Amino acid sequence: MIDRLRALGAAARQALEEAQSESEVEEARIAFLGRKSELNRISRGLGTLSDGERREVGRAVNQLKSDLKGLLEEAKSRVASGTGGAGGLDVTLPGRRPWVGRKHPLTRTLDRLEEIFLGLGFEVAVGPHIEDDFHNFEALNFPADHPARDEHDTFYVEGGGLLRTHTSPVQIRVMQTRKPPIRIVAPGRVFRNETPDASHGSEFFQLEGLYVDRDVRFGELKGVLIKFLRELYGENVGVRLRPGFFPFTEPSAEVDVECRICRGRGCGVCKGTGWVELLGSGMVDPRVFAAVGYDPDEVSGYAFGLGIDRIAMMMTGVDDIRLFLENDLRFLRQI
């Protein structure tokens, strides 16, 4: 009987050590410790043995049961943690590095622009993406039939709203709620009904600037923009102002910088001219002041608007504006 128990013990130990899954461990438990197991049968038959035999066999039975329960627990935790055997956890493999996130290139560009303008005494203001005709056009001196609206075709929403075509409506909103002096920059997303190509998207980003006070001169506009561009591109950057037209500024100027890619020699990005147009600007038109209830004889000011995407392209060397909004991580991780 004792020999039989020893043999059972050896067989049970082997079965439990070789078990590879929870179900194999369970099979071994049923076979060696279950109700119909030989061990259970011996244990139930102890009463039929003589006193001396019962004590000896009984002790061996109890010892074996407790040994097997220990082995059973070990086998259970081994298959649960997956150690040992094929497909298990290999603790010697190098760990996976956590991903480190970073700011989107457009956000980084905007952060830099805001930093410069905050240093020049401007505050940041924001306005809604869905505008009305008054703020996006009328108050900015684009009457309903004005040809300048052709360049600002956009997307209309039910109820008369439209997706703003520039950040200039923020000028109107700020002037409607505050008295001069005002010195703000207003960054944000703008929308136009464009056929997308490498330098046009139907969504892009602008940064508006507005300064209103008494006796503001064109020379101050020029001084602030040159200061800004030197901060952004270095003291030696070439800057030029060309006459331009915007309904809400008079006189108006377009501002170009020397191409950052070819340093003014002429390349594909500047279309061979050596210059890249970065800003629209001008002195606020008296009709705009009238539209917000300011007295044009009392106040004067300047405004400017720049394309954030275009500056980001020059800062990063990216040559297709559409890449910025696709949010493809394979692209974003490179810049």
Nearest distance from C-beta of residue 235 to ligand PHE, angstroms = 25
Q: Are 17 and 75 in contact (CB under 8 A)?
A: yes
Query: Does residue 163 bind ligand PHE (CB under 6 A)?
Result: no
Query: Does residue 305 bind ligand PHE (CB under 6 A)?
Result: yes
Which residues make beta-bridge pairs with 257? 239, 276
Query: Does residue 289 bind ligand PHE (CB under 6 A)?
Result: no
Nearer to ligand PHE, 201 or 280 (CB): 280
> How far apart (Å, rounded) are the C-alpha atoms in residues 78 and 70?
12
Nearer to ligand PHE, 26 or 250 (CB): 250
Query: Does residue 246 bind ligand PHE (CB under 6 A)?
Result: yes
Nearest distance from C-beta of residue 305 to ligand PHE, angstroms = 3
Nearer to ligand PHE, 109 or 281 (CB): 281
Query: Does residue 303 bind ligand PHE (CB under 6 A)?
Result: yes
Burial class from Cβ neighbours inside 10 Å (0-12, 13-18, 19+) for residue 59 reads exposed
Nearest distance from C-beta of residue 249 to ligand PHE, angstroms = 5
* Residue from the set 139, 304, 321, 323 that interacts with ligand PHE by CB under 6 A: 304
Torsion over CA of 133, 152, 126 and 318, rounded to 10 degrees? 170
Query: Does residue 168 bind ligand PHE (CB under 6 A)?
Result: yes
Token pair 């209830």 is found at 293
Contacts of 262 (CB under 8 A, 6+ apart): 269, 270, 274
Nearest distance from C-beta of residue 120 to ligand PHE, angstroms = 16
- Half-sphere CA count of 96, side-chain side, radius 13 A: 3
Nearest distance from C-beta of residue 292 to ligand PHE, angstroms = 15
> How far apart (Å, rounded) are the C-alpha atoms in residues 204 and 195?
13
Q: Are 63 and 5 in contact (CB under 8 A)?
A: no
Token pair 């890449």 is found at 323
Query: Does residue 166 bind ligand PHE (CB under 6 A)?
Result: yes
Query: Does residue 280 bind ligand PHE (CB under 6 A)?
Result: yes
Nearest distance from C-beta of residue 329 to ligand PHE, angstroms = 31
Q: Where are the alpha helices (DSSP H) in 50-168?
A: 51-81, 105-119, 133-136
Query: Does residue 282 bind ligand PHE (CB under 6 A)?
Result: yes
Restricting to residues 189-228, which ones interact with ligand PHE according to CB under 6 A?
208
* Residue from the set 281, 285, 299, 311 that interacts with ligand PHE by CB under 6 A: 281
**Which window, 12-20, 230-238, 255-263, 303-311, contacts ligand PHE (CB under 6 A)?**
303-311
Nearest distance from C-beta of residue 168 to ligand PHE, angstroms = 4
Q: Which has the closest alpha carbon to 271: 280, 279, 262?
A: 262
**Residue 266, CA distances (Å) to 40, 51, 113, 226, 270 in order:** 94, 111, 26, 22, 6
Nearer to ligand PHE, 105 or 282 (CB): 282
Nearer to ligand PHE, 29 or 166 (CB): 166
Query: Does residue 249 bind ligand PHE (CB under 6 A)?
Result: yes
Which residues make beta-bridge pairs with 249? 246, 284
Nearest distance from C-beta of residue 212 to ligand PHE, angstroms = 13
Q: Are 222 and 185 in contact (CB under 8 A)?
A: no
List of residues contacting ligand PHE (CB under 6 A)? 166, 168, 208, 246, 249, 280-282, 303-305
